[in-house]
Amino acid sequence: MAAADPDLVARLKPVRLPPGFDALDWNGILAVFALALVAGLVLALILRAFTAPRLSEGEAAERALAAERGLSPADRLLGQSRLVARLARRQDGGRAAAAAARRLAELKATIDAELYRREPALDPDAVEAAILEALGRRG
């Protein structure tokens, strides 16, 4: 790239800004404050999404079971069957997790056998207590 012509640079006019453009007034202060407020809000929402407390498996199971308490016994058993299947897939770890997975598999088989009957004989409250017990919670 060739060097700039010194005569051309000398003939350039100085930068012209509108009068008062470089002075900070109340409008500028309010604009900066509003931008800072919006940026802080966006940052807080992003941080909240990444740092929100998450429910443990047991707490999530308790909430799911509580949400199903108003359903009919057959619908409640179906929901419990789905919950047990989901919990059994998530069990990984040591002996306690293996025992819980085994107990949940037994519960799933028992519930699934009852679901095919016209009138299921299983008590949904007893199944709920067994699910919570398998997860190490009191039912």
**Higher-pLDDT residue of 92, 113:** 113
Q: Is a pLDDT exceeding 90 seen at residue 20?
A: no
pLDDT band at 94 (very low <50, low <70, confident <90, very high): low
Dist. CA 101–CA 87, nearest whole Å: 8
**Higher-pLDDT residue of 47, 15:** 47
Q: Which amino acid is at 69?
A: R
Angle of helix 73-90 versus helix 124-134 axis, rounded to 10: 10
Q: Is a pLDDT exceeding 80 seen at residue 29?
A: yes
Q: What are phi and psi of 132, to 5 degrees?
A: -65, -35
Q: Is a pLDDT exceeding 90 seen at residue 81?
A: no
Structure tokens at 127: 């199944």
- Looking at the chain, which runs of residues are DSSP E strands? none
Dist. CA 99–CA 119, nearest whole Å: 30
**Higher-pLDDT residue of 4, 51:** 51
DSSP structural state of residue 12: P
Q: What is the mean pLDDT of residues 1-26?
A: 77
Cα–Cα nearest to 70, from 125, 129, 131: 125
Instruction: Please report which helix (H) or strand (E) contains residue 124, including its range.
Output: helix 124-134
Q: What is the mean pLDDT of residues 75-104?
A: 79
Q: What is the mean pLDDT of residues 55-82?
A: 85
Residue-averaged pLDDT of the chain? 82
pLDDT at 102: 82
